Structure 1
């Protein structure tokens, strides 16, 4: 009967809506330890960790001699064009045939093993000595490996030093699959490039106005690490593509100009 009376009293009592309910909380010391660990880790990283400071610039893959013009050596009319742009040819490969004034037809071959950057004539055109026939890049110079020539913003050029590491990517070989080519800066141009100097070095292939769209640039030479066993002849950070990259291929180069401690950002 005693339990019955207690139960009846509870039913008659009003709801205890204003009672304070204590929730389970994380111990204060645990929060303090976690905060100290986080601050200590961030502080250690800021003092001893490093972050690469990089600058991105556009360029091309070329051989050291750049692009040379092949000009006509006699007067005549072009009767046959034997080659086209964006192909590799060997020394002596027919380039064009022209009919001289006396009616004889003479065929002119490539002066060296070369990559044909562009053809400047078509069949039926009259040419004179000195008329530009083609633009070619010589490929048979001993030790002349493919290298990156990058057109770096002139305003940032004082930050470059020989030996700066450069990671190079090419649209033809996606970096997600093949990684990047790697090289080091060996030469930084002393004077800004002009449209004329760029055209003389690159020929008519690359987009010269696009290279100058961001302002003055200087020419930076970046020899790339080679790999004779690689199909491309170059070393890649992941895997070599199963083909050779063409001369004057467009590239993007990322220059590592400094490795900084984050603490210096706070100290100015």
Structure 2
């Protein structure tokens, strides 16, 4: 049978352990309460889109209806602003017009071929501008009830960015593709109405980045856990 001194030691040990356990529980509850009040749970929307160098590639267009006489540039090669890309021949044999690159960059597309007849304003080629920041054009469904303010944050695929502009009116994906001199947007076979969201990704664009398909998460809001539990939120 334990002696009185031994019983006192057991009581003291049990008491210390109880207080330690109680303290740990209270600390955990306090940390949980702090997290519920201070922390934020983000609400995100995943959007598909494409990467761009700056605001996107620059189109090279025909100044007037004519026939392509010769082509000087090579697709995939750098071109300087003002460099001759091709020569057009008008109805008068003496009426030759040179078409130059409007910007410095990489000639990514050249649809014109010698002997081809083109109309005024027709797209002859596409130049991806050099020394531009990387951006993303995200496609928000026109019917999606999500207000996207300038300055909203975006992340995904190892990138983070900030929304710089949201188109005021919906466009079809076919119209958007036409802006960049292509038949359709990469990864988007269907023609649907979207509201384009332009995002600055804060890094320099690399050669060939333009028109690369991408999916990013748009942060549309945040709530405190306590508000979610109480059925509120903001």
Structure 2 counterpart of 1:64, from 55, 61, 69: 55
Q: Spell out, residue by residue over 1:166-197, the C-alpha distance to the aligned partner (whole angstroms, 9 max, x if none).
A: 2254xxxxx3xxxx2x3322322222221343
Structure 1 counterpart of 2:197, from 220, 224, 227: 220
- Give the equivalent residue in structure 2 for 1:88: 78
TM-superposed deviation, 1:223: 2.7
- Give the equivalent residue in structure 1 for 2:11: none
Q: Pick closer, same or farther for the CA change 1:89–1:246 going to 2, 3 Å.
A: farther
Q: Spell out, residue by residue over 1:102-126, the C-alpha distance to the aligned partner (whole angstroms, 9 max, x if none).
A: 4998754323324434222234434
- Give the equivalent residue in structure 1 for 2:10: none
- Asked if structure 2 preserves the Cα contact closer than 8 Å seen for 1:57 and 1:254, the reply is yes
Structure 1: distance between partners of 2:219 and 2:20: 40
Question: Which structure shows the bigger proportion of residues in strand conformation?
Answer: 2
Structure 2: distance between partners of 1:249 and 1:110: 23
Structure 2: distance between partners of 1:54 and 1:97: 50
2:164 corresponds to 1:186:
yes
- Give the equivalent residue in structure 1 for 2:123: 132
TM-superposed deviation, 1:204: 0.5
- Asked if structure 2 preserves the Cα contact closer than 8 Å seen for 1:193 and 1:218, the reply is yes
- Give the equivalent residue in structure 1 for 2:5: none
Give matches, 1:41-120, under 5 Å: 41-59=31-49, 60-64=51-55, 67-71=58-62, 73=64, 75-80=66-71, 82-84=73-75, 86-97=76-87, 102=93, 108-120=99-111
Give matches, 1:99-248, under 5 Å: 102=93, 108-137=99-128, 145-156=133-144, 158-167=146-155, 169=157, 175=158, 180=159, 182-204=160-182, 207=185, 210=188, 216-225=193-202, 233=204, 243-244=206-207, 246-248=209-211
- SS of the aligned residue for 1:264 comes to helix
TM-superposed deviation, 1:218: 0.9
- Give the equivalent residue in structure 1 for 2:214: 251
- Asked if structure 1 preserves the Cα contact closer than 8 Å seen for 2:60 and 2:127, the reply is yes
- Asked if structure 1 preserves the Cα contact closer than 8 Å seen for 2:134 and 2:202, the reply is no
Q: TM-score, normalised by structure 1?
A: 0.61
Gaps of 5+ in 1: 1-26, 170-174, 227-232, 235-242
Number of residue pairs matched by the alignment = 213
Structure 1: distance between partners of 2:99 and 2:150: 42
Structure 2: distance between partners of 1:146 and 1:205: 23
Please tell me the root mean square deviation across aligned C-alpha atoms, in Å.
Answer: 3.8
Q: TM-score, normalised by structure 2?
A: 0.68
